[in-house]
Amino acid sequence: MKILAIETSCDDTCVALASQKGDKFLIEKEIISSQTKIHQKWGGVYPTAAKREHQKNIVPIIEKILKNEKRVEGFSFSEKKLTKIETFLAKDGLLKKRLLSFLNNSVKPKIDLIAVTKGPGLEPCLWVGVNTAKSLSYFWNVPIVGVNHIEAHILINFLKDGKILDIKKYMPAVCLVVSGGHTQLILMKDLFDYQIIGETRDDAAGEAFDKTARVLGLSYPGGPAIEKLISKYRNIEISRCRNFEINLPRPMIHSKNFDFSFSGLKTAVLYFVKKQPRKIRKSKIFKVCLAKEIQNAIVEVLVKKTIRAAREFRAKSIILGGGVSANSSLRSVFKKKIMKNFYQLNFLVPEKKFSTDNASMVAFAGYLRFRKFGKDNWKNLEADANLIIGT
């Protein structure tokens, strides 16, 4: 089957086309239109601007993705349906204009399923994807499934080299989902059987990277910026960092529960920087040392709590997902700890391109959902900014 997938939960407009046959699942095309440059001046995502960008970009991207796809012969164009879509998109001026013109000029592509992120995320952004997907599903009469963004970040780990893994073999698993909006530890007992065992009480891990990077004068998104700075100066001697006596807190690292708290980290960094004489504050080496300590603090807390959860819940696997899982230090610290002390644990990390937001993961999660539960009713499909995994 062929799956068209749409993801607009945050600041990237992502569309993918995938095909499935037996246990083979191939991502044929993916286009991601990043809004990073637009949001850089705010140091974070500005929802109204993000929504407008999605509205501008989504239809041209879908058009490009479907350009050379086979068409369904004998598809009858319906003026009535078009009018209904026009009413239904009344409040989405920009999207309506582009979508109607596209549908007016297009024929039905040979796709069997439309998968779309319905939450969690930024509500105005989610609606752009959901409304687009609903319109296409209705107009072309193609089944639709709504996908949970967090679940998609987890499930993409079960796609390796174009093959669907035997998910049962990895269960139960402890999943750490770390992104700009979420930090959750989820016990996955089986496919579609989840229990949240811990989450952040304030800022997400990605947010901590973004906010502290801003203090360092680095650009948004902060995680990759911090990682790049550290990598560029990886040859500086550790002893030089010792001179600055940087000791950031490891928030909640010893707490008995599996919750996190990262907002204090930004404050600690801010105070520490303010205390320094101007000359030190402005020095490159100081910034690099501080960046390293920020990364270490976040990584240590995440690794420690995840491994403790895996032991307590007798998990067979640890699974990572979300933008922060692209971090090389997080990956390597996990790998080292697991190989040294818990070598029987499976460790699944997404390919780097699948760590940050993408529509391939939505195609894959959508397919697995469709296989198990069938299609959703397009009329009832709604965006839900606070959608909880497993509900």
Which stretches of the chain bind Zn ion, using CB under 5 A? Answer: 179, 357
389 contact choice in Zn ion, ligand KG4, none (CB below 5 to 8 Å, kind-dependent): none
Task: Considering the complex, state which of residue 111 and residue 301 has its C-beta at the smaller distance from ligand KG4.
Answer: 301
Task: Considering the complex, state which of residue 102 and residue 364 has its C-beta at the smaller distance from ligand KG4.
Answer: 364
Spatial contact of 57 and 48, defined as CB atoms under 8 Å apart: no
125 contact choice in ligand KG4, Zn ion, none (CB below 5 to 8 Å, kind-dependent): none
In angstroms, what is the minimal distance from the CB of 389 to Zn ion? 12
In angstroms, what is the minimal distance from the CB of 390 to Zn ion? 17
Residue type, 243: N
227 contact choice in Zn ion, ligand KG4, none (CB below 5 to 8 Å, kind-dependent): ligand KG4
In angstroms, what is the minimal distance from the CB of 302 to ligand KG4? 11
Residue 362 to residue 148: CA distance in whole angstroms? 8
In angstroms, what is the minimal distance from the CB of 226 to ligand KG4? 7
Instruction: Give me the sign of the Cα torsion angle 284, 280, 208, 254.
Output: positive
In angstroms, what is the minimal distance from the CB of 357 to Zn ion? 5
Closest-by-Cβ residue to ligand KG4 is 223
Task: Considering the complex, state which of residue 135 and residue 183 has its C-beta at the smaller distance from ligand KG4.
Answer: 183
Task: Considering the complex, state which of residue 180 and residue 198 has its C-beta at the smaller distance from ligand KG4.
Answer: 180
**Sequence-distant (≥ 6) Cβ neighbours of residue 102 within 8 angstroms:** 59, 62, 63
Buried b (16+ CB within 10 A) or exposed e, 92-103: bebbbebbbebb
Residue type, 162: G
Beta bridge partner(s), residue 114: 4, 144
209 contact choice in Zn ion, ligand KG4, none (CB below 5 to 8 Å, kind-dependent): ligand KG4
324 contact choice in Zn ion, ligand KG4, none (CB below 5 to 8 Å, kind-dependent): ligand KG4
Place of tokens 């191939």: 26
Task: Say if residue 351 is exposed, middle or buried (CB neighbours under 10 Å; 0-12, 13-18, 19+).
Answer: middle
251 contact choice in ligand KG4, Zn ion, none (CB below 5 to 8 Å, kind-dependent): none
Spatial contact of 220 and 44, defined as CB atoms under 8 Å apart: yes
Reference 264, options 297, 242, 313; nearest CA is: 297
Residue 167 to residue 317: CA distance in whole angstroms? 11
Task: Considering the complex, state which of residue 20 and residue 148 has its C-beta at the smaller distance from ligand KG4.
Answer: 148
Tokens of 181: 């909006």
Place of tokens 């995994």: 389
Spatial contact of 1 and 114, defined as CB atoms under 8 Å apart: no
Task: Considering the complex, state which of residue 55 and residue 184 has its C-beta at the smaller distance from ligand KG4.
Answer: 184
In angstroms, what is the minimal distance from the CB of 20 to ligand KG4? 24
Task: Considering the complex, state which of residue 85 and residue 188 has its C-beta at the smaller distance from ligand KG4.
Answer: 188
Spatial contact of 294 and 250, defined as CB atoms under 8 Å apart: no
Task: Considering the complex, state which of residue 103 and residue 301 has its C-beta at the smaller distance from ligand KG4.
Answer: 301
30 contact choice in ligand KG4, Zn ion, none (CB below 5 to 8 Å, kind-dependent): none
Residues that bind ligand KG4 (CB under 6 A): 10, 179-181, 206-207, 209-210, 221-224, 227, 322-324, 326-327, 356-357
In angstroms, what is the minimal distance from the CB of 265 to ligand KG4? 13
Task: Considering the complex, state which of residue 144 and residue 178 has its C-beta at the smaller distance from ligand KG4.
Answer: 178
In angstroms, what is the minimal distance from the CB of 369 to ligand KG4? 19
In angstroms, what is the minimal distance from the CB of 1 to Zn ion? 25
Q: What number of residues does the chain have?
A: 391
Tokens of 140: 């072309």
Spatial contact of 54 and 104, defined as CB atoms under 8 Å apart: no
